[in-house]
Structure 1
């Protein structure tokens, strides 16, 4: 009886050991990473590096105004292109800081050019991480400038709280509140305010 009990315990212990080894060899998280790429939670939404900029901002209702602005400005294919593009994405809350009625005006078909100019002011050709921006700021004695896709300059500095502040052509300031969100066609940083270029004279 003792002999059979010993054999049974050996078989049970071996089964448990085998099961434990098999779980370690096939972790679920590795499968998820291989399929979806790098995942980052942005304002409660999981954005993945296998998606392009347009696909990722479409995942969250916090960027519904930005999605509409990109579509109405005729820029959907630009932000779905291969890139790479560095994009400073304003939330709906950032758009709400604009003067009353300004966004409604920009969304009218007659203001498509102005809307396009505004949105492309939030984009830079190439891929710039926060560290890249910081290095350029430090190398230029506390202030760096970048040429946007709109063709005009955006300035960056670091404040006393170590936040990166973007300064538009009108002196308006916007904080990068979430950064280094990898996209299949570049990188995205979330900003607290809409960046407004000076009116372009034709």
Structure 2
């Protein structure tokens, strides 16, 4: 299941180089993904399985507000070299197209799937955009509660951690749309998986 992510730093000439820290964060959280700095303030990542990790990586990077993120879904030529700069295949071309298009979009995200899965790719992208919109509205307090909930803590444990009542935790999670976010992420992953299966001939469109 190849998913290629091409990521380019926003306003890189006015900001310090954030690529090394981003690659370290990617390697720590997604150790099974191959990640390589490519050219300038840009890096690529290849996920060969687990579309949920692709969703989580997109959301992690987009939260920083520092990146144009392009996702390419399609076949790749095998064997894939350790250095992604030498890798080839339609998915890499799609990711290049996607990141260039992301630079023209207000949310800095674009997904491109190779035929015959273009429509399915749009479906996945729309849900990802909705998730980003939900998260953009979160307050710092909402993020603090949501991150602990994502880690599996109960509302009582979150309250203890944050020094607030369980009722206040519930209010923060509701305001952060945490439950909807948590339900939507697996749906986005399933849409990515279906898109990938169509592009690589695993299932019919």
Q: Same fold (TM over 0.5)?
A: no
User: Which protein is bigger by CA-based radius of gyration?
Assistant: 1
Bigger fraction of residues in helix? 2
- Output the TM-score relative to the length of structure 1: 0.31
- Output the TM-score relative to the length of structure 2: 0.31
Bigger fraction of residues in strand? 1
